[in-house]
Structure 1
Amino acid sequence: MEPIDVKLSASSQQISLNETVHMEAVVTQQADVIDDADEVMFEVATSDGVSMEFEAEHQGEGVYVFDYQFKTAGEYKVTSHVTARGFHAMPSVQIVVEE
């Protein structure tokens, strides 16, 4: 069986304080969308290693979303943790928050 594929994207990777970023994970396996993922979480981590996890909202057609408003300037790593069909994937994006 082929591993799952997760395409993670952010509405913007460079933002201002208090701006909301829309993150989207599109989960597929070969050409099939995965609407039955066991777990899809988004982890928001600061450069000093402090992190928080949030459950994604399933939008249908293999799309899982999460919106987050950054309250502190700095560099963040957002990682989607996706478990589906016996596989786990963890793609990440960097977000820079400026004052």
Structure 2
Amino acid sequence: MSGQVRWFMPLIIILLLTTVGCSNDEPSQSTDTLEMIKVQLMVPDKVSTQDDVALQIKLTQGGQPVDDADHVQFQVWNEKDEPAAPAVDQGMNPEDLEAQGAITAQSTGDGIYEANYAFEETGVYVVQVHVTAGAMHAMPRTKVTVESASGN
């Protein structure tokens, strides 16, 4: 009988290890993470004070366009007048951004969101977009140089 136990024990150990190994693989497959959203700002580098400028982004996730973002808002300020950052416990919700003058963008399809903006004074401006899609939030920014309409 002891010969049978010696032969049977390694088989039981192999079966247990195989079962444990397979059960460890399953949770990793079921907890796949979502791909991050990708926001491509499409804003001109230079504009004129007379121009009505289309501020645009292209929003994708996993290489596919996203047309159902929860919120897309553009915030524009002169680089000399950067707004105060919100308190850590406060966050920055769409209503707070709107109260600070942010412009809500509309989807035009194919992952493109657009809002029109007219720069009234010359200078260097920061254009930051706040995008919320599901549980993801992105806030890329760029700079725009605004020159007078007469070129001065």
* TM-score (normalizing by structure 2): 0.60
1:90 corresponds to which residue?
139
Structure 1 stretches of 5 or more lacking a match? none
Correspondent of 2:49 among 17, 35, 38: 17
Percent identity over the alignment is: 36
How well do the aligned residues superpose, as a CA RMSD in angstroms? 1.3
How far does residue 88 in structure 1 lie from its aligned partner after superposition?
0.4
Query: Is the Cα–Cα contact under 8 Å of residues 14 and 97 in structure 1 kept in the other structure?
Result: yes
- The structure whose Rg is larger is 2
Distance in 1 (CA, whole Å) between partners of 2:55 and 2:48 is: 16
Q: Match of 1:18, SS?
A: coil
The one-letter amino acid paired with 1:20 is D
How far does residue 57 in structure 1 lie from its aligned partner after superposition?
1.3
Correspondent of 2:123 among 62, 74, 97: 74
The one-letter amino acid paired with 2:145 is V
The one-letter amino acid paired with 1:13 is D
Runs of 4+ in structure 1 off by over 3 angstroms are none
The one-letter amino acid paired with 1:92 is R
1:30 corresponds to which residue?
62
1:5-58 per-residue CA deviation (whole Å, 9 max, x = no partner) reads 000111x21122222221211111112211110100000111212563000011
The structure with the greater share of residues assigned to strand is 1
Correspondent of 1:2 among 31, 35, 48: 35
The number of residue pairs the alignment matches comes to: 98
